[in-house]
Structure 1
Amino acid sequence: MVLKRGNTEYTLQSPETYCDHDYVEYFHKVPNKKQLYTFRVVKLAPAFTIDITTKVMKTQRVLYKMENIGGCEFLNNPLLFKALHETYNRLLVNGSYFKCPIKPKVYYLKSENTMSFLPSFHPPGQFQLSVRVKMAESRRPFVMEMLWKFKIVRIK
């Protein structure tokens, strides 16, 4: 997917998805749907945190990092987290807002227009953006992760 904004071209590879297969049974692209993803929560998730990291691909140097964002606090009032509020709304399918605790069932997310949330001052280069959902009750480092790889080029 390629998005042009002003003199900048953003190229996004299809996101990679991962899950722990304990709290989240699966997390993958919906077959025959371009930007729709599904995941199945199999155990009640009373609380969780979110880590967001952007790294330079070549050096793995961390460019941006937000850790331990209170997931339930965010879901209860996404406007408190202004930087994430717009992105959250773009990920939702048909306005299906999540509520805490997250109940066991099948959920959907869309990943269209995800590049448009990048700030215009983002430097050119190749990057990876990781969004990890973590739970203290899980033995794994995360219960879900979505990893975007993208390239930013300035057009002359």
Structure 2
Amino acid sequence: MNFIMESLETFCDHDYVEYFRKVPDAGLLYTFRVARPAAAFSIDITGKVLKTQKVMYRTENINGCEFLRNPLMSKVFGIVYKHLVVNGTFFECPIKPNVYFLKNEGAMAVLPSFHPPGRFQLSMRVKMAESRQPFVMEMLWKYRIVRIK
């Protein structure tokens, strides 16, 4: 099968995360600014069929700080995290206000080997109990899987 990335959209709450966007003229590099300290957060990951929005898989409420302390607790998500970080700069809790960078690499590592062909979306949401918004930041990948003959 062949993985074709169609787009990556980024969203943030403009409160805890002031902005989250692509770095101009930097290829796969994205930047975000944490405006307020993040002592605790959770991560939701959802894969859906793009046309029907049918959920293929969902992982909710992954403890973000535990994950950052030991990314290998989840082999699949640990691989994705390793591909997202820039220059080996891993995050620690509490996440301090600062400007951070991520690479748009590694999304394919989270896909199961039995993935059907078609168009899909994969979302990764970071949530904080203190935020009034449904998430503080989100990455939404849209992609296509094509069988190679």
TM-score interval, normalised by the smaller of the two chains: over 0.9
Answer yes or no: is the 8 Å Cα contact 2:40–2:65 preserved in 1.
yes
In structure 1, the partner of 2:112 is 119
1:67 pairs with one of 57, 60, 63? 60
**Unaligned stretches of 5+ residues in structure 1:** 1-7
* Aligned pair partner of 1:40 in 33, 39, 48: 33
Query: 1:17 and 2:17 equivalent?
Result: no
Aligned-pair RMSD on alpha carbons?
1.0
TM-fit CA distance, 1:98: 0.1
- Give runs of ≥4 in structure 1 deviating > 3 Å: none
Q: What is the percent sequence identity of the aligned residues?
A: 66
Letter in 1 for 2:141: W
**The one of 21, 46, 69 aligned to 1:28:** 21
Q: Residue 26 of structure 1 aligns to which amino acid in structure 2?
A: Y
The count of residues paired between Structure 1 and Structure 2 equals 149
Q: CA deviation at 1:112?
A: 2.7
Q: CA deviation at 1:115?
A: 2.4
Question: Normalised by the size of structure 1, how large is the TM-score?
Answer: 0.92
C-alpha separation in 2, matches of 1:139 and 1:25: 15
Per-residue Cα deviation, 1:20-63 (whole angstroms, up to 9, x for no partner): 00000000000101100000001000000000000001111000
- Equivalent position SS for 1:142: coil
Task: Name structure 2 gaps, 5 residues minimum.
Answer: none
Q: Measure how far apart 1:81 and its partner are.
A: 1.4
